[in-house]
Amino acid sequence: MDRDGVLNKDPPHYAHRLDQLELIPRSGTAVKILNDQDYLVIIISNQSGVAKGYYTEDDVSVFNNALLLRIQEFGGMVDAVYYCPHHPDAKIEKYKLDCHCRKPGSGMIIQAAKEHNIDLQKSYVIGDKWSDIEAGKNAGCQTILVLTGHGSDEASRMKDPDCLLAVDLYEAVNKYIIGESNISDVKQVESFDERN
């Protein structure tokens, strides 16, 4: 899944400071549900702010670690995090690259599949931008566009009429991945998530 706009709220200018870290409601619960159903949860994120000089890779690591700890408060666990710091118009020369890892390229997804023995045809990519959806399709995954983050704006410019749509990560997980029949099993943890 994508990070900003799917798991945590996407501020106006690149999520990279700890004071910007705010989980989207029910996203912590959604991760726990996936864990409980034996799905791997992997974050795949473009971080072009590094290439543009807005923040460093160390800032990305600090933010990611804080995000993972926040998700753990809801009993959820992220199995791996991949991010792309590159951009073809980078201000920092070492990151100036038109790479395969930057979404809509599928490089990060392919790397995750190799390193974690993942069957991509049985996997989902969840994102709030068409670049996430295109990356998933390029890798042979099923895809879900959530309406959080940039999702509502993106959905108004429908690029893929066959793309699954969900209000948020929680609905994406319960409606499309594990099925509605399991929702009753997580009402208690959802209630906790809503209060926090």
For the chain, the 3-state helix, strand and coil shares in percent, each to the nearest 5, are 45, 15, 40
2 is known as an active-site residue: yes
Q: Dump the DSSP string for 21-73.
A: --BPTTHHHHHHHHHHTT---EEEEE-HHHHTTSS-HHHHHHHHHHHHHHHHT
Kindly give the pairing relationship between strand 42-46 and strand 80-84: parallel
What distance in Å separates the CA atoms of residue 31 and residue 118, rounded to the nearest whole number?
18
Residue pair 193/26 in contact by the 8 Å Cβ criterion: yes
Give the CB-side neighbour count of residue 99, counting CA atoms within 13 A: 19
4 is known as an active-site residue: yes
Q: Which of 165, 150, 189, 174 is nearest to 6 (CA)?
A: 150
Catalytic residues: 2, 4
